[in-house]
Structure 1
Amino acid sequence: MAHYSVLAVTPTDDGWIPDYLPIANALVTKHGGRYLARTASHEQVEGAESPAGLRIILEWPTRAAAIAFMNDPDYAPQLAARTAGSESVHFLIEGRDDLA
């Protein structure tokens, strides 16, 4: 079943971004993921204010694929750089409707 990574990322130091992007892009593809949105063009239309510089949505074929990406040893230094250089929140969401 598809899973979706939904991230809010606000860079606090953008020095990590040039090295991060090519490696993360390749690893997302390696693990079967694809970016659905990766943009600074977003607006909040409901709820308590939750600002973010970027909103990112990735689609994964399975939960296992998403976890394999996060645990990939080649991603570890990139994750560390993103964590050190940004305020980030990452949700992994199962692609199903529990209310249907």
Structure 2
Amino acid sequence: MKHDAKSVPRRKSRPAGYPLSPDTPIYRTTCPYCGADIYYTLEMKHEKKLICLSCLKDVPNPHYDPSDPRCLRRALRTGISVFICVAACIVAAWLVWRYALPV
């Protein structure tokens, strides 16, 4: 039985960055290299790149916002900077207490 192309309802393709349906938190984007669909949740929005499981290449994440202060990499860099500054102050205070102050 053959169907006419107009008689078969086609599923509307949603653009990247929108959920598959209103009641699911699963999003879809397309790999620009192999054309495969990549499904992800909003928990991945802080990652700069997504990995295509078909061709194993990095794909830009449409939800990644580098100016977002809650970005994991920025938070990690800020946390490491604060740790280094605090450690340097503690070492400097210890050196002053140990060698500069008379006992």
Q: Which has the higher contact order (CA 8 A, sep 6+)?
A: 1
Higher gyration radius (CA): 2
TM normalised by structure 1 equals 0.23
Higher strand proportion (structure 1 or 2): 1
In the superposition, the TM-score normalised over structure 2's length comes to 0.23
